[in-house]
Structures are given as structure tokens and as C-alpha cells.
Structure 1
Amino acid sequence: MEGLKVSDANLVVYVHPSKGDKVYQAILRELSSLLFTFSEIFDGVVLSYNDVNFLDKCAKILPGVHPYFAVKLKAKFLLFSPKPNMLLEGKVVKLTQGSIHVIVLGFASAIITEEDIREEFVHKTKHGQDVYASRSHKRHVIKVGTMIRFLVKSFDEEILHIFGSLIPDHTGSIHWLDKNLEDTTPIGRTAKKTRESEGESIMIDRDSVGRETFPMDNIEKYNLRSQGFHVGLHLSECLK
């Protein structure tokens, strides 16, 4: 699935003096506050972080009424950054005559309205259940619980809401597509391709952030939560 990427970032975390004897916990708490929110710096929703390493042995104390100290560290972030024309995957949670409602990665909502559903699909009610069935392929059916692949039209960063489309032929039920589409189709090529893009500066020191795409097959490795912390240096002693 597109829209997932891993970023290596050098950043600065400001810690209150009262947390001087618990620096590591304070930093993890600060990083956790970023989870499942859209970050303009990273240009994506922070899903997970790990490999947290301190870059300096001692932090820099900032002058002021409350002299916070700045801790430089390096961490790896898993980001969700859907862009127009990307292909996403999600689970159908609701169907109506004019829309398909989807959950992506268990937290982001998406909607595909009637005007963005190709004419091949017809809304029907079978055994009291709403479905979208293909006129061309009898077994290509979308219903509640179906995992679908759809195209991104736009993404509302504030409410983490996606507007999608099922107009392209290589969108629809993933189960049906994987069985019936050849590798020569756009989705077949996309699934095999790994992309890398240049990073951007972050936070106060404006260091670069390296990025790479994140295959859907590896999503279980991260479990969409923080894990696998590796602390290079303990700062609590030099900050007392």
C-alpha cells in the first residue's frame, strides 16, 4: 500500500527541569504526544517511533524564567501521508446506496461517494445486506467487511479523513483484484516498486529527514505503536 513511509529524523526535545531525573521517560512522553496526529514538519500522520538515540552526552540548558534544557536525539518514525492518486487499502465498514465508508489502518476514515464509484458497480440488497456488485464480473462484490483498494482524491489533515475513488479499473475488492489482475496492471507494478525521496528539515535544528516507502507486508513489524527503543546515552546524571 502506498502512503506509508519511514523517516530517520534528528530532532530536539525540550524538557522541563523538574524532569531532570527522568529524562528518558519525559522524552518518550513528548514523542508519544505526536502519535496519530498530522505533523507539518514530517508531512504525515505519525503512527510509530523507535530506535531513539541521544546524540549528545549532556543537554543544553536554555536561559529563562523556567530554564528548559534541549536534548538532541535521533529517532525513526513510521508515517502515513496519503497524496492524490495514491492507492490505499482499507476495510469497508458501511454501505449505502450513495456511498462506501472505509477505515484505513484502523484509525483514518475514508468515504467514496456515488460519483466516484465506476458504473460497473451496481448497488443491490441481498439477504438484507447492502452490496456493490460488478456488472462485468459476477464474483467482484464489495460489502461490509471487504478489504478494498481505492484511489486517493484528497486528504483532510485536520480530521484525518480521506476522499477516495473507485473509478480506475485496478480498484475494488483486493481479494478479487489479486486473483484476476496481472502484474502488467498499474497496481501490479506499484506493489513491486520501492521509492525513496529526499527528506526535509524538522524542528529547531532543521536537520534533514530521510524517507522511504513502507511496504504493507511489514506493518505487523511496527504494530502501529512505539516500540524497540534503544538509548545510546543516559542524560539524567549530567543534568542533575
Structure 2
Amino acid sequence: MEGLKVSDANMVIYVHPSNANKVSVAVHRELNSLLFQYNEIFEGVVLAYQFDIPSETAKILPGVDPYIGVRLKAKLLIFAPKPGMLVEGKVVKVARESIHVVVLGFSSAIIIDNDIREEFIYKIKHGEEVFASTSQKRHVIKVGTTIRFQVKSFDEEILHFSGSLIPAHTGSIRWLEKYLKDDSQSSRHNKKHEERDEREDVLLHGDLAVDEGAVLLDNSIKKLKKQRIGEEF
């Protein structure tokens, strides 16, 4: 899925003196407070972290209630979706005019009917609301389907997506993976046929070249013989 990246960060965590004997716990608590919300410094939503405190030396900051500044190196998993990117989510609701999705378990998305390509039509199948493809009967989007959609916009404050299913490479992940796999296998099959045809073509023309060379050599030998016979007389 696009929009995911790992960032290396040099950070300073401020720990209260009461936590001086459990710095690691205090650091975890501070980093946990960054999770699943947009961070302007990292320009994305922090999803996970891993950190290392390279030195046991900490700086005591002056004040009435002095804090301890702990320097650490952290790896942060950042989710920074931009318009045009492809992201994935699980469908939680299907209505006549919209599809509602949850992305990575914490962010919501909506795809309205104007952003659903024409091949998908809304219908009730076996008592369940779905969007079914008219060109690929097995391509169905319903509650529980994991889909890939294109980002139209992302509201950083409420972590809400506006998405689109207009591009051809969007839709049910399960169907897309099978389709792309079959398409890839078909392409490899066609390529093998082309390579085989090329080999046969080379062999065919190679045989012709050998045959033509043999004819030319034979004619040359005959000419030489005639010349020699003429010279003898």
C-alpha cells in the first residue's frame, strides 16, 4: 500500500524525575501518545515505533520541577497518504450512493457514487447490498471486502479519506490479485510463444542461409573446374 514509510528520528523525550528509575517505561508512554494521530513534524500519522537509547547519560533541565532530557534514536512507521495514491481498506458499509471503508483499523473513508466507475452497479444479492461489476461477474464489493482505492483527499484533523474507484486498477484486492496474476501469466505465456517463434525464425533463416551458402559454394567450385579445364586445353 502506498503512503507507508519508515523514518529515522533523533528525539529528546522529557522524563519527570519521579520516573528516573524507569526511563524506558516513561519513553514508551511518551511515544505511545504519538500513535494514530497526524504529526506535523513527521508529516504523517505515526503507526508504530522502535527506539534505542544509545547513552545512559541524561541532561537535567533547570526549573522548579526539573525534567530529565533523554536522547534516543527511533524508527517510526509513518502513514502519509497523498491525493492520487492507492490505499487499501475494509468495507464496513455499502449503500446505494456510497461505500464506507476503514483504513488500517483507525481511519475512515467514503467513496460516493460519482467516484465509482460505471461498470459497478448497486444491487441486492442474496439479501446483501453490493456493488457488482457488469464486465467481470466475480468482481463484487460488499461488506467485508478489502478494496484498493485512490485517494482524492485526506483530512488530517479527523483522519478521514475521500476516495475513488474510477481507475481500472482499483476494486476488490482479492479479484485484482487474481486478475493481475492471470494477466501476468498470460503475458509470460505470450512472451514464451514470441521467443519460441523468434528462435524458429532464426533457425529457419539460418537453414536457408546455410542452404544458399552451399549453393553458392557449389557454383563457385563448378566455375573453377570449368576455368581449369579451359586452361588445360
Q: Normalising TM by the smaller chain, what interval?
A: 0.7 to 0.9
> Counterpart of 2:178?
179
Which residue is equivalent to 2:214? Answer: none
- TM-score relative to the length of structure 2: 0.75
Structure 2 counterpart of 1:19: 19
- Residues 157 and 184 of structure 1, relative CA distance in 2, 3 Å threshold: farther
Distance across 1 between alignment mates of 2:107 and 2:34? 16
Residue 2, structure 1, aligned to residue 2, structure 2: yes
Counterparts of 1:28-177 in structure 2 under 5 Å? 28-50=28-50, 52-177=51-176
Q: CA deviation at 1:49?
A: 0.9
Distance 2:14 2:3 in 1: 30
Alpha-carbon deviations, 1:5-46, whole Å to 9, x = none? 111111010111121122111111111111111111111111
Provide closer, same or farther for how the CA distance between residues 123 and 81 of structure 1 changes in structure 2, counting only shifts above 3 A.
Answer: same
Q: Quote the RMSD (CA, aligned, Å).
A: 1.6
Size of the aligned set, in residue pairs, is 184
What SS does structure 2 have at the residue aligned with 1:76? strand
TM-score, with structure 1 as normaliser: 0.73
Partner SS for 1:63: coil
Distance, in Å, in 1 between the alignment partners of 2:57 and 2:155 is 40
Look up the equivalent residue of 1:98 and give its one-letter code: E
SS in 1 for 2:26: helix
List per-residue Cα deviations over 1:46-82 (Å, max 9, x = no partner): 11111x2113331111111221121110011111111
CA distance in 2 between counterparts of 1:183 and 1:74 reads 44
Q: Which has the larger radius of gyration?
A: 2
Larger % of helix: which?
A: 2
How far apart are the structure 1 equivalents of 2:108 and 2:144?
14
Gaps of 5+ in 2: 185-233
Unaligned runs of 5+ in 1: 186-240
CA distance in 1, matches of 2:128, 2:56: 62
Instruction: Tell me: higher relative CO, structure 1 or 2? Use CA pairs within 8 A at least 6 residues apart.
Output: 1
